[in-house]
Structure 1
Amino acid sequence: MSKTGALDLASGVGGKITKDEVKSAVEEYEKYHVCFGGEEETRKTNYGDMVNKYYDLATSFYEYGWGESFHFAHRWKGESLRESIKRHEHFLALQLGLKMGMKVLDVGCGIGGPLREIARFSSTSVTGLNNNEYQISRGEELNRLAGLNESCDFVKADFMKMPFSDNTFDAIYAIEATCHAPDAVGCYNEIHRVLKPGQCFAAYEWCMTDNFDPNNETHQKTKAEIELGNGLPDVRTTMQCLEALKLAGFEVIWEKDLAQDSPVPWYLPLDASRFSLTSFRLTALGRLITRTMVKALEFTGLAPQGSDRVSSFLEKAAVGLVDGGRKEIFTPMYFFLARKPLSES
């Protein structure tokens, strides 16, 4: 069951951060980013602290506006956002060939929305790996409500240093999560290590596309807004992700930016120029109402000081994402399916 009320949203801001420390946590988080004078190397060095602060601060906003699955999706005309998100998750399961009895790892699982959908769709046991305590506690509660607490579980750990033995999993996937890694090769190396030989890893990655010009100030501004609003050390290019997979030892079966052939633009839910009753909270009016509500709750003391600033940098992220999508310089769904060779050469 998703949190839907204003008070639920307010009570969740800060996650495991104490309410009187939320404002200072927001300030510390903001200082990591270019918009506030931060540097890429600092973000990469302190990625664990930065990403944890981000998800403690932002998770209740995500769940309030987006539901349990925090990701975008390839979308057909006439298809609702919720339907497209489920199909996007099913597509991943089908590409991996998931079957009953397989042991599956979800790398960077959030509160487990995709984990639960994929487990039900494929009749597999899925372990969610997450380094954020608050998201795991939410995920465990939602697993119990869904009746999946016996077949699916969560492990609190850094995906750069996984607490699993070599060759443990039959399949591994990541949905818009490994973009938080400070080093793609190091992250993919760990995934390669814990995956059984001959088995596959599939992911949707956040990437800058070939249209991104690092010397273009407007492009750089958009990239910085995306990093600030989404807790990212850096946004890699599609080619950097592809090269990192190969360096980690994977055989790439196929790869494609699925945003290129999405009949409905992936960024449409965040586009301020559109209106939708089914996704009202994501529209410009819906976000304005949420922002006003958060301001009022913070003023009355029902929401911690700093809540409005979280809402503000999430708004900035929405602007950056829509801008990046329209200019086709950014994609949240660079898809790849890669296999770990049966024998290492």
Structure 2
Amino acid sequence: MPNLGTLDLASGVGGKIEKDNVLSAVDKYEKYHVCYGGQEEERKSNYTDMVNKYYDLVTSFYEYGWGESFHFAPRWKGESLKESIKRHEHFLALQLGLKPRQKVLDVGCGIGGPLREIARFSSTSVTGLNNNEYQISRGKALNRMAGLDQTCDFVKADFMKMPFPDNSFDAVYAIEATCHAPDAVGCYKEIYRVLKPGQCFAAYEWCMTDGYDPNNEEHQQIKAEIELGNGLPDIRRTHQCLEALKQAGFEIVWEKDLALDSPVPWYLPMDTSHFSLSSFRLTSVGRFFTRNMVKALETLGVAPKGSQRVQAFLEKAAEGLVAGGKKEIFTSMFFFLARKPDLPTQ
């Protein structure tokens, strides 16, 4: 499906939030974050409200600029952004060893771009778990258009309290989603619970790397910009994710920061010094065009008041992501494959 047009973007800002309430939602969302005086504990204790507001506000911007799969990918020279995203999703399916007719869970599925690609690639049935009503309604419409509404579905729920019985799924994956969890151990324990014994969980996590210095003010600012622009309570270190997996009961099969070997930097599409026709909307010229269109549409009353503010904090997020990537203090693709041990034999 083609990306949304500018009018689709304008009409979608705010998701399920009433248009007259978008500006106040932006105010409340921003106040959760360090840049506006917010505290980490407040973000963690109110993560459901914060993350829901975030995705109501930004989903149409994401789909407009990025397509249906809201994630980054390592990229080969000569490979397009869309090709790299598909390959990144296929890699996950291959690492999980997915087989036809298996039941798979996508934790934090967005509007289901990866869900649809992985379901088609592996001939599996994929359930997308998401706590945002607007994204689920959008995902269901896209499933119908793709002819996948009989094999793939969505469940609205919090991934800290999943509404599934124990040992329900043959495989579980998460793509840049469980970084929204206020407690990694609690989130991974829920994934462990619903996964069948002997089966695997694979994920791409957003993490601060070992190069991050919590006492460095520039590093702190970059981290705060990423948290603000991406609805994150806190960004964990890579070793904290691994320790959380072990505490949840998983055996770690292997792990690696896939950003380290990417011939084309993962953050390149957002780097304003780079120009690309294939991802024009992400370039500095494309952003300038979008910024002014959103301003005009908000002035005319087509886009709700607050739309420009959303555009602004997303641009600030892009700056933080590029800076974090260039300094190698942040990665968007810390990969791990973890296994739930088999049940003990009697």
TM interval, short-chain normalised: over 0.9
Question: Secondary structure of the residue that 1:21 maps to in structure 2?
Answer: helix
1:180 corresponding residue in structure 2: 180
The amino acid of 1:72's aligned partner reads: F
Instruction: Show CA shifts across 1:104-150 (max 9, x none).
Output: 00000000000000000000000000000000000000000000000
1:319 corresponding residue in structure 2: 319
2:56 corresponding residue in structure 1: 56
Alignment of 1:91-130 (within 5 A): 91-130=91-130
- State the alpha-carbon separation in 2 of the partners of residues 3 and 93 from structure 1: 25
- State the alpha-carbon separation in 1 of the partners of residues 22 and 140 from structure 2: 24
Alignment of 1:229-248 (within 5 A): 229-248=229-248
Task: Give 1:4 shift.
Answer: 2.2
Does 2:304 align with 1:304?
yes
Task: Give 1:3 shift.
Answer: 4.7
The amino acid of 1:322's aligned partner reads: V
Task: Give 1:80 shift.
Answer: 0.3
2:22 corresponding residue in structure 1: 22
Identity %, equivalent residues: 80
Question: Secondary structure of the residue that 1:110 maps to in structure 2?
Answer: coil
1:90 corresponding residue in structure 2: 90
Task: Give 1:6 shift.
Answer: 1.2
Question: Secondary structure of the residue that 1:117 maps to in structure 2?
Answer: helix
Task: Give 1:181 shift.
Answer: 0.2
Task: Give 1:336 shift.
Answer: 0.1
- TM-score normalised by L of structure 2: 0.99
1:157 corresponding residue in structure 2: 157
Does 2:4 align with 1:10?
no
Task: Give 1:343 shift.
Answer: 2.7
- 1:105–1:86 distance in 2 versus 1, CA, 3 Å: same
- State the alpha-carbon separation in 2 of the partners of residues 291 and 120 from structure 1: 36
- State the alpha-carbon separation in 2 of the partners of residues 251 and 317 from structure 1: 34
Instruction: Show CA shifts across 1:17-39 (max 9, x none).
Output: 00000000000000000000000
Do the aligned partners of 1:2 and 1:64 also contact (CA within 8 Å) in 2? Answer: no
- State the alpha-carbon separation in 1 of the partners of residues 249 and 54 from structure 2: 31
Does 2:290 align with 1:286?
no
Do the aligned partners of 1:169 and 1:196 also contact (CA within 8 Å) in 2? Answer: yes
- State the alpha-carbon separation in 2 of the partners of residues 21 and 83 from structure 1: 38
Instruction: Show CA shifts across 1:272-297 (max 9, x none).
Output: 00100000001011011101100000
2:81 corresponding residue in structure 1: 81
Question: Secondary structure of the residue that 2:114 maps to in structure 1?
Answer: helix
2:68 corresponding residue in structure 1: 68
Do the aligned partners of 2:43 and 2:233 also contact (CA within 8 Å) in 1? Answer: yes
Do the aligned partners of 1:33 and 1:224 also contact (CA within 8 Å) in 2? Answer: yes
Do the aligned partners of 2:227 and 2:235 also contact (CA within 8 Å) in 1? Answer: yes
Do the aligned partners of 2:169 and 2:196 also contact (CA within 8 Å) in 1? Answer: yes
Question: Secondary structure of the residue that 1:332 maps to in structure 2?
Answer: strand
- TM-score normalised by L of structure 1: 0.99
Do the aligned partners of 2:3 and 2:65 also contact (CA within 8 Å) in 1? Answer: no
2:219 corresponding residue in structure 1: 219
Instruction: Show CA shifts across 1:12-67 (max 9, x none).
Output: 00000000000000000000000000000000000000000000000000000000
Do the aligned partners of 2:4 and 2:64 also contact (CA within 8 Å) in 1? Answer: yes
The amino acid of 1:97's aligned partner reads: G
2:343 corresponding residue in structure 1: 343
Do the aligned partners of 2:11 and 2:302 also contact (CA within 8 Å) in 1? Answer: yes
- State the alpha-carbon separation in 2 of the partners of residues 62 and 213 from structure 1: 30
2:270 corresponding residue in structure 1: 270
Question: Secondary structure of the residue that 2:72 maps to in structure 1?
Answer: coil
Do the aligned partners of 1:2 and 1:68 also contact (CA within 8 Å) in 2? Answer: no
2:192 corresponding residue in structure 1: 192
Question: Secondary structure of the residue that 1:170 maps to in structure 2?
Answer: strand
Question: Secondary structure of the residue that 2:51 maps to in structure 1?
Answer: helix
After TM superposition, what 4+ stretches of structure 1 lie above 2 angstroms from structure 2?
1-4
Task: Give 1:101 shift.
Answer: 1.2
The amino acid of 2:230's aligned partner reads: N
The amino acid of 2:275's aligned partner reads: F
